[in-house]
Amino acid sequence: ITVNAQTIYSNGTGGGQWNVSSTWIGGVVPNANSDVVIAGGDSVYTLVGAVCNNLTLYNGGIFATSVDTVGVASTLTLEDGSTFYNKTTNPRAPGQERILEPNSTVVHSGSGTVGGVGNDVFGNLVIQRAEGCTPATNLLIQGNLIINNSANNVVFRGARPPTTGSQTHTVLGDVHVLKGILSCIDVGDNAMSCIWNIEGSVYVTDAGNNRDARIGPFSSANASGLGIFNIGGDLIINGGRLQAGTSSTSGPGTGIINLSGNLVLSSTSAVATNSLGPFALNFVGNGIQTVSSQIHFSMGTNVYDTINVGSSVVFDLDTCYWRSTTGGDFLVNGSLEMKTMSRLMGAGSFTLNTGSTLKIGSPDGISLADTLGNIRVAGTRTFSEDANYEYKSNVPQIFGDGLPTTVNGFAVNNPNGFSLSGNMNVNG
């Protein structure tokens, strides 16, 4: 016996409840053999079970679940501009096959697990939960990832033992953290890793300036393992918090942020540690990257920062400083420009390697040990003779005792001029 599927369309006047006949053109409630289409501008929701053969949401169409008995026998299709609210305890969207176009949106608010085998590709994904949740498998998000949970301690973690092993997730668009935490690893173990590859920018934004929006590699007590954010665009912290870890009990995990764009910290944002393991913020872009901060960047864990070859980083911190209170190293392989009052401080060391460039804005120039100039770390300060140096400011400057007497390249970029205070050999 062959049963021909009947295509049933939503009413085009706003939609309604699935099991009410007036929701559908023709007044026929869909059944297991029906192919269902929810039109643009219509919102269909379920209070009891909803079953069909195929389910398609047109651009502007909305489907919202509220029970676990939603059944799509064949294919769920979300066209660009449509929205599916998955409030069930099933982590996967219904259907044997799922076609989620890049500009469609899934709002996940039900299960503590997100997606799964056959449901690992999303358009836009919104996490809107009252408790934490974790991807069931490696996710590919073709649009934006939005975190808008109920509280600042509700976390969307990339991996968590024993629920998952190591995982890698990819976001082709931007990430917006509005409330709650985006982290790599929750709990963790030493052999575990999680990577977020984000091709766009990351915005950690709390409109109320309460630091309820947060991002960091770790998000639980004793978190261990390796957590990495690879960010292709900017990292903008506006009223939110950038953290190494968060919990009443710090963990030994290694956290890394590889940033290709700018870093911006607003006056209402915060930087937090709560981690025993090392933290690194590496600048890996091709071209100019600006670090603009209206707060002190200070962590109580060892901080290892690297400026890669090919990246030109400008620290514009005004009167703020960048430091670790325990140790670490600031390593320059590319170009670092320190604006007039910008300061690297703390217990770490500073290394300017062969072929790299340091541009100094301080009137005090470069100091080997004194608390003068832009580079004021308490650890070892190493300035290579094979590096390039530029004194770049609008105020009178001196060399300072840290400038090598032999350098690869030397430039003065100061409208007030510059007086040599000793012999110098320039090889380049």
299-356 residue pLDDT tens: 999 999 999 999 999 999 999 999 999 999 999 999 999 998 899 999 999 999 999 9
Lowest mean pLDDT segment, chosen from 185-194, 264-273, 405-414: 185-194
- Is 148 in contact with 178 (CB distance < 8 Å)? yes
- Is 373 in contact with 367 (CB distance < 8 Å)? yes
pLDDT mean across residues, the chain = 94
**Residue 47: pLDDT above 90?**
no
Give me the pLDDT at residue 4, please. 55
> For residues 169 and 410, what is the distance between their CA atoms, to the nearest angstrom?
44
* Residue 204 pLDDT class (50, 70, 90 cuts): very high
Give the Å distances, CA to CA, from 355 to 68, 334, 350, 351, 389. Answer: 61, 8, 15, 12, 10
- Is 61 in contact with 41 (CB distance < 8 Å)? yes
> For residues 347 and 327, what is the distance between their CA atoms, to the nearest angstrom?
5
Cβ neighbourhood burial of 423 (10 Å; 0-12, 13-18, 19+)? exposed
Give me the pLDDT at residue 69, please. 84
Which among 69, 56, 13, 5 is positioned nearest to 32, based on CA atoms?
Answer: 5
E strands, 334-414, are 335-338, 343-346, 349-352, 357-360, 381-383, 388-392, 406-407, 409-413
Calculate what percentage of the chain has a pLDDT beyond 90.
85
Identify the DSSP state of 153: T
> For residues 357 and 338, what is the distance between their CA atoms, to the nearest angstrom?
11
Question: Could you give the dihedral angle defined by the CA atoms of residues 255, 336, 323 and 327, in that order, rounded to the nearest 10 degrees?
Answer: 70
Mean pLDDT calculated for residue range 257-281: 95
**Residue 408 in 3-state DSSP?**
coil
Extract the tokens encoding 112.
């503590």
Calculate what percentage of the chain has a pLDDT beyond 70.
99
Give me the pLDDT at residue 248, please. 76
Extract the tokens encoding 218.
């770790």
pLDDT tens for 126-174 read 999 999 999 999 999 999 999 999 999 999 999 998 889 999 999 999 9
Question: Could you give the dihedral angle defined by the CA atoms of residues 45, 48, 52 and 56, in that order, rounded to the nearest 10 degrees?
Answer: 10
Lowest mean pLDDT segment, chosen from 246-255, 368-377, 384-393: 246-255
* Residue 190 pLDDT class (50, 70, 90 cuts): confident
Mean pLDDT calculated for residue range 392-400: 91
User: Which backbone phi and psi does 381 adopt, to 5 degrees?
Assistant: -110, 120
The 297-299 sheet, strands edge to edge: 297-299, 321-324, 343-346
Mean pLDDT calculated for residue range 269-289: 95
For residue 64, the tally of other CB atoms under 10 A from its CB is 17
Show Cβ contacts of residue 422 under 8 Å, excluding neighbours closer than 6 positions: 399, 405
**Residue 2: pLDDT above 70?**
no
Give me the pLDDT at residue 233, please. 98
pLDDT tens for 110-126 read 999 999 999 999 999 99
Mean pLDDT calculated for residue range 177-186: 96
* Residue 176 pLDDT class (50, 70, 90 cuts): very high
**Residue 418: pLDDT above 90?**
no
Mean pLDDT calculated for residue range 61-67: 94
> For residues 405 and 103, what is the distance between their CA atoms, to the nearest angstrom?
58
User: Which backbone phi and psi does 420 adopt, to 5 degrees?
Assistant: -65, 135
More confident residue, 35 or 417: 35
Mean pLDDT calculated for residue range 198-218: 95
Give me the pLDDT at residue 370, please. 87
**Residue 67: pLDDT above 90?**
no
